[in-house]
Each structure stands twice: as C-alpha cells, then as structure tokens.
Amino acid sequence: MTPARALLCLALLCASCRQNDDPTGADEVLARVQADDYRSWARAPGYEARVPSSAPHSDNVEIFVNDVVEAALASDGLSEWPVGSIIVKDGTSDDGELELIALMEKREDGWYWAEYDGSGAALYSGDVDVCVDCHASGGDFVRAFALP
C-alpha cells in the first residue's frame, strides 16, 4: 500500500462514524474464532511473524487464516476466496500491546467485517463502508496477500 493510500484509508476510518451495524453478530464471530484459538491458525503468506505495518490497522500486525483459507492457498487459479474463509488480524503497538482485532469472514452473501478494540469491544461490524472501500483494491477484498 502506498503511503498516500494508507493515509486515505486512515482518513476515511477517522472521518466516518463507527459503523457497528451488527454488534451481536460481531460478538458471536469473535467468540467463535477465540474459542478456536485463532492465534494457533496458520499465518498468512508474508506474515509468518509480527511485522511493521503502514496500514490503518496499527503499527504492527499479525495475520492468521483458518483452515479454509489455508487449503485455498494450496490451490491454483482461484478468482475468489471460498465461503467459510476467515482472516484475523491483530494490530499491536510497538511495545506489543494489542490495540485491535480486525476480522473478515466470507459468507454466502459476501464478506462480513468486524473490528474490535484491544479489549474485544466491537467498533465496526457488518457490511462496513470504510472496510469495503479500502479493501476493494484487493483480490476478492483481501489486501494483505494474493489469491493463489
């Protein structure tokens, strides 16, 4: 992501009011991925450890993918991620403090988006405009790594 694009995404994020359209659903999906110990999932390509980030999701990030994404990464020629794909990003400060959790889950009707503060309180959820707008430039809305 170019610095200008990162600033645009951050400006959109800060300028918009928090769009927490589905707090109950956001709580459910976070509880589900935490019960599945998402930090034990496979790491996204290029994110084998915590890495510095210039994106709006904190100064450092770790990205975890569920078994559906992991299997899809072993495929060739996908044009979109399969239903059931879940990607979770932990955003941390430079001292390692968890600042946010962002996740996306591919459903029959498209991606479900949610972002939480470091304590797990939902800030954004549902079909969030700022998420969709920024992620639209990614392959099937995933910006951090490419479709196989």
Q: Which of 75-84, 114-123, 138-147 has the lowest mean pLDDT?
A: 138-147
The stretch 59-88 carries a mean pLDDT of: 96
In a domain, 144, yes or no: no
In a domain, 38, yes or no: yes
Instruction: Return the pLDDT at 19.
Output: 87
Domain residue limits at 45:
3-135
In a domain, 95, yes or no: yes
In a domain, 148, yes or no: no
In a domain, 145, yes or no: no
In a domain, 78, yes or no: yes
Q: Domain holding 96: CATH number?
A: 3.50.70
Q: Report the C-alpha gap between 68 and 87 in whole angstroms.
A: 10
In a domain, 42, yes or no: yes
Per-residue model confidence as pLDDT tens digits over 94-124: 999 999 999 999 999 999 999 999 999 999 9
The stretch 13-38 carries a mean pLDDT of: 85
Instruction: Return the pLDDT at 7.
Output: 46
Which band of pLDDT confidence, cut at 50, 70 and 90, is reported for residue 54?
confident
Q: Report the C-alpha gap between 26 and 147 in whole angstroms.
A: 25
In a domain, 146, yes or no: no
Number of folded domains that form the chain = 1
pTM: 0.84
